[in-house]
Amino acid sequence: MALLQTLISFVLALGILVTIHEFGHFWVARRCGIKVLRFSVGFGKPLVSWYDKQGTEFAIAAIPLGGYVKMLDEREGEVPAHLLDQAFTRKSVWARIAVVAAGPVANFLLAILLFWIMVMPGVVQVVPVVGEVAEGSIAARAGLEAGQEIVAVDGRSTDSWQAVHQRLLERLGETGSIGFTVRYPDSTLTYESEAQLEQWLVGVEEPDVFEGIGIKPLRVQLKAQLDQIVEDSPAAEAGLQTGDLILAADGQLIDSWRDLVAYIEPRHDQAIELTLERDVEVLTLWVTPAAFEIDDRTIGRIGVSPLQPHLRRQQFTLLQGLVVGVEKTWETSGFVLLSLKKLLVGEISTKNLSGPITIAKVAGDSARAGWAYYVGFLALLSVSLGVFNLLPIPVLDGGHLLYYLVELVKGSPVPEKIQMAGYQVGLLVVLGVMVLAFYNDIMRLY
């Protein structure tokens, strides 16, 4: 079942991203008066196909690892005289640039939309409070202490551990100073410090940046105190409220949230007597956990979440959410480009390059984790696809754009022989990267 879900999640992700990418080419081509012969999602023999009123064939093909838009093009055969004005090659260089760039742009627009969807319900993030600092580590040399909140790295804001992780990833393989801005609990005063990096984690496979810098996030044992109560859940029907502190279940002492979960999970459809503290009163309520199927086993849940310290909640208006989507897309694009540069110069191990097997595994894991994780995965993959396609490598969209920019400067197309030689080199580069990524995937499996 897990393998099937992974395959479905992977094929669905590819289908969405490829369709959006190719639709970008298709939509702009139509607007530029170019005749589109075929719009295919997937390669190989079409499984399903149909035609629209303008004679374009839409197809879903057997191999779901890409797609393409085929346009009327004199380079691929003779074009009837009455259709010459609809051929791609007869359009202005600006029109051709617009058509080629539209695919990656569509991926970036999709990423903005997906990031926007992710943040609109609100975002809950873990405040980056340091739990431990390893002796003699980079963090120790920078003067970081347990209990401090990291509010910025290298002058860039870090409102969560995810943001700290991102800032540290950007410094992989580098030499130079790294700066931290921290503050103590219940204080608005901030303190600046720095330490030196020396080819930090250069060439390390799957680097752990927190361990590499010498810090561990603060781990807090949660009390059995309630935060969110799900509407129409067993907890809501029993009268439980936000802020209630569970003291005992069926007379058994409950010291932590883990104790409460461990007691409730095996008792689905069984009434449980809860002793709780509400304000200054001690109350007794009865609740019957509902049954849920999780990984082929049945567990009990009452529909509550714990009150967690060191959490930061944010809500966004529609416009604020859109701004966040644009910022995340921009930041992710920059990080992908930076990572590619570091791979080329050897600051990041090529063993970190992932292929379709790893992508499929992440697709399955994110789908199982919930819709928000899967949407986030799609957004990241969409940005990566957009950036990769804009690289100035012949056979990619970026290679075509490079030829057209040269044509703009020199006033005439790049000679056909040079273009063909470039395509052959580009194809070798892309195939080489794909083989390396696939090899890495196989090595991870074994």
Q: Are 212 and 174 in contact (CB under 8 A)?
A: no
429: CB partners within 8 A, 6+ apart: 393
363: CB partners within 8 A, 6+ apart: 6, 9, 10, 12, 13, 374, 377
Q: Which residue has the tokens 């029109």?
A: 95
- What is the crossing angle of helices 416-445 and 397-410, to 10°? 160
267: CB partners within 8 A, 6+ apart: 289, 300
- What is the crossing angle of helices 371-389 and 318-345, to 10°? 50
286: CB partners within 8 A, 6+ apart: 238, 271, 272, 273, 274
Q: Which residue has the tokens 């810090």?
A: 215
What is the number of residues in the chain?
A: 446
252: CB partners within 8 A, 6+ apart: 263
Q: Are 32 and 16 in contact (CB under 8 A)?
A: no
**Of the residues 22, 149, 170, 347, which is catalytic?**
22
117/322 Cα distance (integer angstroms):
9
Examine the residue annotation and report whether 22 is marked as an active-site residue of this protein.
yes
158/166 Cα distance (integer angstroms):
9
Q: In the 8-state DSSP scheme, what is residue 223?
A: P
Q: Is 122 helix (H, G, I), strand (E, B) or coil?
A: coil
Cross-strand bridge partners of residue 301: 290
7: CB partners within 8 A, 6+ apart: 360, 364
The values of phi and psi at residue 408, to 5°, are -60, -40
The values of phi and psi at residue 389, to 5°, are -70, -20
Q: In the 8-state DSSP scheme, what is residue 317?
A: -
233/289 Cα distance (integer angstroms):
9
440/268 Cα distance (integer angstroms):
44
- Catalytic (active-site) positions: 22
